[in-house]
Amino acid sequence: MKTIAKISIASLALSIAGCQDTEDKAIPSLKSAFEGKFTVGATLSNGMLETMNDPGFAIVEKHFNSISPENCMKWGIMNPEPDTFELEHADRFVDYGSENGFEIVGHVLYWHSQTPDWVFEDQDGNLISREALLAKMRERARMMSERWGDRIKVWDVVNESIEGDGSWRNSKFHQILGDEFNELAFRIAMEELPADAKLIYNDYHMTRPGRQATVIAMVKDFQAKGIRIDGIGIQGHWTMEDPSLEELDEMLGAFSQTGVPLHITELDIDYLGRSQYFGANVDLERLKSDPANNPYPDGVLPEAEEQRFAKRYADIFKILLKHHEHIDRVTFWGVSDLTNWLNDFPVEGRTNFSLLFDRQFETKPAFFSVLEVAKQN
């Protein structure tokens, strides 16, 4: 009796495992669904690169053909002090990508955020000279090129240097280099990175008319001056309402007219939303402790909300597919809801919902709604 019971439990376990395996195989991959349209990417977090055995890797290998580093290549992470280099995570990222045949994206050469003060200031805290900053920028690009140049084929050269109203962001890069910051950065990238690396300008809220106009003018200016710019990076940190589908459609149409390929570089949809937190003097600690700001701490959305989220993704992908001839790549900012940065931004410690895979690494209704759109378009 005992033996029979054991056998039947074992065979039941086997058949469940077999069934899950078959089910998994029956689910088409995102990369095959969008084949011939654009590559599909995800980011590898520092947590994944720390252990190299995160369950997220199975998703990455099945569904994506491009990878971006969430944090490990940022200036402050790689090079926190003038002579301190911490390159293990970035090395693992590039090795993993090349051993597994991914398109590897470099993120990011020059960004005002996550860049330490030593880059811009001398020991007394005064801004350094233009020549000194340019030398540091060139040294960084050269180091990237020497270490990984043969393997990283897409680079976010400058990130977020233009404000929503179209003016230059008042960053330390701008304080030292002035309005020429972007141009100088792209010239350095063009000179130091391999000739076949795609050089991208990357920014968020690209539907804002001022920012859009300045980006387009900059691309045209670079083209006229013979400065390479091979892509416009549209981050795609969107919410349930922003941008509207009309705005998205118009933006993609406007950028397409430059003739430069578009990359959706950091797609996620912030279900909980954040616009209310961007006002002046917000007390994030108070918001954090108010349960109204974290309505689903168990990580499960009510079915109707899950469907609304799935529809938002489907609507967005319909528009992306409409413009697919101009879009090279769509990269999701993360792999699953478990570790996506929006759990901690702009309010720390919320349970947010943003991607196509849930906290158990299972496909969400949004995953299937995106696949369905791919099938029909």
- Measured on CA atoms in the order 72, 77, 83, 85, is the torsion positive or negative? negative
- For this structure, is 160 an active site residue? yes
Give the span between the Cα atoms of 70 and 159, in whole angstroms. Answer: 13
Query: Least CB distance from residue 348 to ligand XIL, whole Å?
Result: 11
Query: Least CB distance from residue 15 to ligand XIL, whole Å?
Result: 40
Under 8 Å CB-to-CB from 91, ≥6 apart: which residues?
Answer: 147
Query: Least CB distance from residue 349 to ligand XIL, whole Å?
Result: 14
Query: Least CB distance from residue 159 to ligand XIL, whole Å?
Result: 5
Specify whether the CB–CB gap between 69 and 90 falls below 8 A: yes
Of 70, 103, 192, 266, catalytic: 266
Give the span between the Cα atoms of 47 and 332, in whole angstroms. Answer: 17
Q: What is the DSSP letter of 129?
A: -
Of 70, 103, 160, 192, catalytic: 160
Query: Least CB distance from residue 45 to ligand XIL, whole Å?
Result: 7
In the bound state with ligand XIL, the residue whose beta carbon lies nearer, of 230 and 268, is: 268
Specify whether the CB–CB gap between 271 and 242 falls below 8 A: no
Specify whether the CB–CB gap between 103 and 152 falls below 8 A: no
In 3-state terms the chain splits into helix, strand, coil percentages (rounded to 5) of 50, 15, 35
- Measured on CA atoms in the order 220, 226, 230, 232, is the torsion positive or negative? negative
Give the span between the Cα atoms of 299 and 336, in whole angstroms. Answer: 12
Binding site residues, ligand XIL, CB under 6 A: 70-71, 159, 235, 266, 341
What b/e readout covers 294-309, taking b as 16+ CB neighbours within 10 angstroms? beeeeeebeeeebeeb
In the bound state with ligand XIL, the residue whose beta carbon lies nearer, of 60 and 374, is: 60
Structure tokens at 98: 């090349």
In the bound state with ligand XIL, the residue whose beta carbon lies nearer, of 70 and 270, is: 70
How large is the angle between the packed helices 130-148 and 181-192, nearest 10 degrees?
Answer: 30
Give the span between the Cα atoms of 92 and 145, in whole angstroms. Answer: 16
Specify whether the CB–CB gap between 108 and 73 falls below 8 A: yes
Query: Least CB distance from residue 77 to ligand XIL, whole Å?
Result: 9
In the bound state with ligand XIL, the residue whose beta carbon lies nearer, of 201 and 367, is: 201
Beta bridge partners of 237: 268
Pick from 203, 213, 43, 231: which is nearest to 110 by CA?
Answer: 203
In the bound state with ligand XIL, the residue whose beta carbon lies nearer, of 159 and 258, is: 159
Query: Least CB distance from residue 109 to ligand XIL, whole Å?
Result: 12
In the bound state with ligand XIL, the residue whose beta carbon lies nearer, of 149 and 334, is: 334
Specify whether the CB–CB gap between 309 and 365 falls below 8 A: yes
In the bound state with ligand XIL, the residue whose beta carbon lies nearer, of 71 and 212, is: 71
Active-site amino acid positions: 160, 266
